[in-house]
Amino acid sequence: MDFIPPICHICIIIEHTMKIYYTHIHEKHDPLYEGYNAEGNMPSYEKALRAEIVRTALENTNWAEFQSPSNFSLDPILAVHSAAYIAYLQSAYADWRGYSPVEGMAFIPGTYSIDYEQARSLRGNEQSGFFLMDTTVAITPGTFTAARHAVDCALSGAQALITGDHVSFALTRPPGHHAGTEICGGYCYLNNAAIAAEWLSHTGKIVILDVDYHAGNGTQHIFYQNPHVLTLSLHADPAFEYPYYGGLAEQTGEGPGFGFHRNFPLPKDTNQSQYLKALDQALKLIITFNPKYLIVSAGMDTYYKEPLGSFKLSQECINRIGKQVASLRLPTLIVMEGGYHLPSLGDNFVAFLEPFVEK
């Protein structure tokens, strides 16, 4: 697969409003902790307040139109995630409850299996070492319900593109891009962007562009052998940053998907110039691939005050990233991923989204 044509910076998207797909059901998943250390419980960065901050910021614009998501069946989810994994997520809280030191939150395992076949043959909480990648994915009574409704937001946004909208935003929580076919990690349980991409792929070629600070390892895994979905991820180099084993520059797909995945691992303290240079390369690949739809996994943890990041991007740069992506003039679904500096989170999302609706 050759990616050679020069990028064409076409200006500006024609939408004057943007549909925002949101549901308060995300609040059913709100774990207090994401692990334990010698000092005790570690508070979770991924909390319900994140989505509410973004919602409030969008309500203060004159272009956001909030929509309740449609209810989709499990079929689009099962097209991406294994049935065994979904069954695990549905039963995990009940299976773990007797082991949990925290009321209303499942036990967070500290052991992980490298023998996948043996692990899959186990039952109940014994399976946790197979399906969970790390300790950030505690399961509460409402985790699966919240994750499933986040998928509904993403699918509703995708459906809006099919019916003629040029852009939509799925205010998804919990996030999804670290979730693989049958593994969760990094606060992610169901891969919202990947499920929407798979659902849309019957209409034509799809691109997923991931601009979260962390590599979209789950998305990479799901489409690694798929030539119909081009996956691109700009992120902190996994040599020093989570998820460590996904997002490497040499990981470019395999089999029929060889050449249809591209990682752009960036160094600590990446500045605006470095980031925009990598983004320009990614946009060239998108233009060459000529997709029918673009899906953006949008995380605001590239911001310079981000507690879980090391990049040095300003809000002005985040706005410029939005402008560069919007200049492609592709029908675009934007899906919320990370971002954990709460005082800036809402304004950063507005800064990213606004170029898609500029007049």
Contact between 180 and 189 under an 8 Å Cβ cutoff? The reply is no
C-alpha to C-alpha distance for 155 and 149, rounded to whole angstroms: 10
Q: Which helix (H) or strand (E) holds 324?
A: helix 315-326
Residue with tokens 């946009």: 283
Hey, is 232 helix, strand or coil? strand
**Residue of 177, 178, 214, 221 marked catalytic:** 178
Residue with tokens 């039952």: 123
C-alpha to C-alpha distance for 289 and 287, rounded to whole angstroms: 5
C-alpha to C-alpha distance for 333 and 262, rounded to whole angstroms: 20
Contact between 253 and 230 under an 8 Å Cβ cutoff? The reply is no
Q: Which helix (H) or strand (E) holds 199?
A: helix 192-200
Contacts 24+ apart (CB under 8 A), 343-346: 343/305, 344/300, 344/303, 344/305, 344/315, 345/50, 345/53, 345/54, 345/57, 345/300, 346/53, 346/54, 346/56, 346/57, 346/58
Phi, psi of 196 (to 5 degrees): -65, -40
C-alpha to C-alpha distance for 146 and 190, rounded to whole angstroms: 10
The CA-based angle 135-262-337, given to 5 degrees, is 40
Q: Which helix (H) or strand (E) holds 48?
A: helix 48-59
Which residues are 207's β-sheet partners? 230, 294
- What letter represents residue 63's amino acid? W
C-alpha to C-alpha distance for 328 and 279, rounded to whole angstroms: 12
Is 228 catalytic? The answer is: no
Provide the residue count of the chain: 359
Would you please indicate which residues are annotated as catalytic (active-site) residues? 178
